[in-house]
Amino acid sequence: MKKRTKRWMAVLCACTTALALSACQKAAGGEAAGAETASAEAGTQAPLESGSTAATDAGAPETESAAPAGEAKKIILGSTGVLAKWTQTAEGSAENGGLEGYDIDVWNEIARRNNFELEWKVAEFQALFGMLDNGDITTIANEVTTNPERLEKYDFTDTYAYDGYVFVVKKGSAPDSLDWFKNKKICVEAATNPRLVLEDMNEEKAMGIEIGYLDTQSVLLPAVDNGTYDGAFMIKTAAQIGIDDLGMDLEQFDPQYKVLPICYPLTRTDENAVLKETINATLKEMKEDGTLAELSNKWFGQDVTVEPAK
């Protein structure tokens, strides 16, 4: 239980970092280029925290020319390694840069189908976009969504997964619509995007929710479990991981209010334009042959590749 709790706290921390204090934008479904959702980013580079799956010289990846015929093209992937189920530390293993998770499995399959050689670099989330700008990595594999600023600066692959926001309530509460939450006490982490989304929902739909602002996401589910609050509002996959790992008698209610399309960012170069087409074609194949759904169910116990209803 202690190990599971630490892992859940890690994913909550990572979600907070990725989504804290950003402007809320309504996401569009389908192609990532039409999506506008919020996520914090920083342009400074931090030291790498782990090794990689392949030995390389220091410096930028080989992005100026395509690999010679018959030679595997190298793709350097940036990740945090602390986003549970998406990209987490694989205890006792150096494979995949010491990482495991949905993003790692998706990229291993992309590489297998295209004769890519993968290298993983691990850093804090704030550093990853700086590494992308500097050419130290090819893309970021870490449940990345889009926002207007990123859409101006980067190209994005097609969406390969979706996330969103949910209420977490005690099992048996049986909310059947958003009306159930009117005038209820709902907790949310204070300095995060879920807080902004909940406030927007509360005002837009005149729900009269009494919002409780808690310091960290790690205390949200216990606050619902002990009856202090009627529910908690948080990121969907983080909520399910917390419910599963902490073993509390809780369940989700999806208000289908916002959708977060998950995709891979690329800097705008001629070579990356070709790479984007290859990745998109492969993701389409993996979607059609059921591979993406299979990997999703392996890690999340649900199919996150299906766009939620709006």
Pairing of strands 185-189, 139-140: unpaired
Residue 34 — very low, low, confident or very high, per pLDDT cuts 50/70/90? very low
Query: E-assigned strands of 141-209?
Result: 155-156, 161-170, 185-189
The pLDDT, as a whole number, for residue 260 is 87
Q: What is the pLDDT of residues 257-279, one digit of tens each?
A: 888 899 999 999 999 999 999 99
Cα-based distances in Å from 175 to 25, 232, 248? 26, 13, 18
Q: In angstroms, how far is CA 196 from the centroid of its own chain?
A: 18
Continuous H helices in the chain: 2-19, 102-114, 125-134, 148-153, 193-204, 220-225, 236-246, 270-288, 291-300
Residue 9 — very low, low, confident or very high, per pLDDT cuts 50/70/90? low
Q: What is the pLDDT of residues 171-208, one digit of tens each?
A: 999 899 999 999 999 999 887 778 888 999 999 999 99
